[in-house]
Amino acid sequence: MPNTKHAGSRRRKPGDRSALVDSQERPIAVPVTTYVRIEALDNVSFHHALDEGEGQSSVAPWHKGHEAFWNRSHLTSEEPRSMMARRSRSHTSPRNDGDI
């Protein structure tokens, strides 16, 4: 695939940690990356679309919604599109004071 650099993100690897924040930018969890793969958008599985938790009943609405987002964000390209498929697990939960 020609494009493996993704806008605004670096290539993740298993073991990477990040901060999951709420709408007020308070940390609420620490996801740990467990799986990463770059794949063509046309190869996105129903399992991946379902795991994103956006309520799609097939891959077609997942594609349509993501294409609309990329088009609004001016991320169009003539090249075949690829994406970073990533899975993670929650490593910790925040303390009561919001400090992780």
Instruction: Write down the domain spans for the chain.
Output: 20-90
DSSP letter at 11 equals: P
Give the pLDDT of residue 80: 59
pTM, rounded to two decimals? 0.56
* pLDDT of amino acid 24: 92
User: In a structure prediction context, what are the per-residue pLDDT tens digits for the chain, which is 100 residues long?
Assistant: 333 344 455 778 899 998 888 899 988 889 899 988 888 888 888 888 888 877 878 888 888 888 787 777 766 665 557 778 888 888 665 554 545 4
Phi/psi for 76 (5° steps) reads -85, 155
